[in-house]
Amino acid sequence: MPSLRRAPELKREYDRLLGVVLVLVVLGAIWVYSASSSEQVLQDGGDGSGYLIRYAIFGAIGFAALAISSRVGVAVLRRLTLPLLAISFVLCLAVVVPGIGRQANGAYRWLGTTSIGFQPSEIAKFALVAFLALTLSQRRRPMVEFRDALPYLAILGAFLVVVAGLQRDLGTAIVIGGACLCVLVAYGMPLRFFGPMAGIAGSGLLVMVLMHPYRMERLTNFLSPWSDAAGTGYQATQGQIAIGSGGFLGNGLGNSVQKAEWLPEAHTDFILAVVGEELGVIGVLMLLVLYGALAYLGLRIADKTRGSYQKLLATGITAIIVVQALLNVWVVLGIFPLTGVPLPFISYGGANLVVLLFGIGILLNIAHGTPYLESVPDPAPEPPRGRGRRRAPRRAPARRAPRVRPVPAGGGGAALASAREAARGMAAGERRPDSSRSAGDRQADRDRGGWDGGARGARAGRGRRAAS
């Protein structure tokens, strides 16, 4: 029967990742209040804490999801991957149905009402990453030809068409595509597949640009935003003004001027511009360091854990956060065309915050040490020990054959023959020496009878040398 082994516990990575996320959420609450309070006071009056209270509520829900997923998240997500993928796809289609979905800023991204709603594409991010991690971990052969990757790319392409085409949410589509490509590369997809994939993606992007002319305007304004600073390039130029006016040290926390009805979406997509104006380059670099630490810890967990499913899942969740953060930073700094992507844990966004904290809980569950979800064969049984153990029979040592010295030709042979005859005569007769004989005669008898082997050998050797 196959058994389940437990991956090692990464306590240091667990504690550090949780600490980084807590710091990001606290900073997010501070800057959501700073970026939204002045506009709320100017428009509605009050103390301007409306968005802060809602951020705190969604943060509490997100931390509850983190607490649950950090304990049982991997096992539950593995069992619910396919239903979650199907449900998220249906919900992404439902946003264009009248009466179910609603439009905001020219895009169909939301389900629900103005006050209560969520974006199904947030669920689709994790559903696709979990699906790729599950199916790729069950493959028995590596990807060698491009057709091996076609089933995965077809499912990914269907989601991208729905999100970017029907919902008109190109930013989320880029995040989904980038995270899924990271999972495929981590699995071992050859880099030569990027050529045909780039061709397919470029063709689809061209079709979407031709279908929606406003995307062509965004592209041209990205190349020259100051040519129409009061029109289509207004948001991009106001963000650059905010960052530029902050300088190196910033104007001080809460002292931003652009957030007061000058900078659109100051508390969501362009909150980094408020950070740059209030804390300067130091504040922006601080956020980048925190995101870099989160990326390092997530990839370290993916590297240190065991089991291909856990490795791919940790890589995908980390890639979602990192790609989304980089895309938002690039848009605010003017490196990429405008897309509606919030800054992870910092921007105001209820569904995004809850889903990201749930994903962090999955990472913590992997770092805590989850059982292998791949089957591992049982080890071979060991032989019995103790009194009942049989011992292997001992092999008798091999006996060496007696060494036979060759008999030289000539007189040596005759001398040996006469010595043998004398020895046999002495054995047949009386061996006890006669006391009446002299000592020299008794010594000669002993030499001939073999009683003194050393003298006999010496005499025989001299005889052979004399004969030769």
Tell me the per-residue pLDDT of 278-331, one tens digit each, with 9 for 90 and over.
999 999 999 999 999 999 999 999 998 888 899 999 999 999 999 999 999 999
pLDDT at 1 over 50: no
Cα 383 from Cα 387, distance rounded (Å): 12
More reliable by pLDDT, 163 or 100: 163
DSSP 103-145: EETTEEEEEE-SSSEE-HHHHHHHHHHHHHHHHHHT-SS---S
- Give the other-Cβ count within 10 Å of 200's Cβ: 11
Q: Containing H/E element for 17?
A: helix 11-44
pLDDT at 30 over 60: yes
Give the relative orientation of helices 308-333 and 50-79 as an angle to the nearest 10 degrees. Answer: 150
More reliable by pLDDT, 441 or 409: 441
Cα 301 from Cα 10, distance rounded (Å): 7
Give the relative orientation of helices 120-137 and 170-187 as an angle to the nearest 10 degrees. Answer: 10
- What pLDDT is stored for residue 429 in this prediction? 52
pLDDT in tens, 143-174: 888 888 889 999 999 999 888 888 888 888 99
- What pLDDT is stored for residue 177 in this prediction? 92
Give me the amino acid identity at 313. L
Which residues, 6+ apart, have CB-to-CB distance to 276 below 8 Å? Answer: 242, 243, 246, 250, 283, 284, 332
Q: Do the Cβ atoms of 106 and 214 come closer than 8 Å?
A: yes
pLDDT at 250 over 50: yes
Question: Is residue 453 classed as helix, strand or coil in its secondary structure?
Answer: helix
- How confident is residue 378, by pLDDT bands cut at 50, 70 and 90? very low
- pLDDT mean across residues, the chain: 79
pLDDT at 414 over 80: no
Place of tokens 């397919």: 200
DSSP 366-407: HHHHPBP-S-BPPPPPPPP-STTPPPPPPPPPPPPPPPPPPP
Q: Do the Cβ atoms of 36 and 348 come closer than 8 Å?
A: yes
Q: Do the Cβ atoms of 131 and 184 come closer than 8 Å?
A: no
pLDDT at 183 over 80: yes
Cα 38 from Cα 56, distance rounded (Å): 18
Give me 357's structure tokens.
């904290």
* Domain spans in the chain, listed from the N-terminal domain onward: 11-369, 413-428+438-467
pLDDT at 457 over 60: no
Please tell me the pTM assigned to this model: 0.75
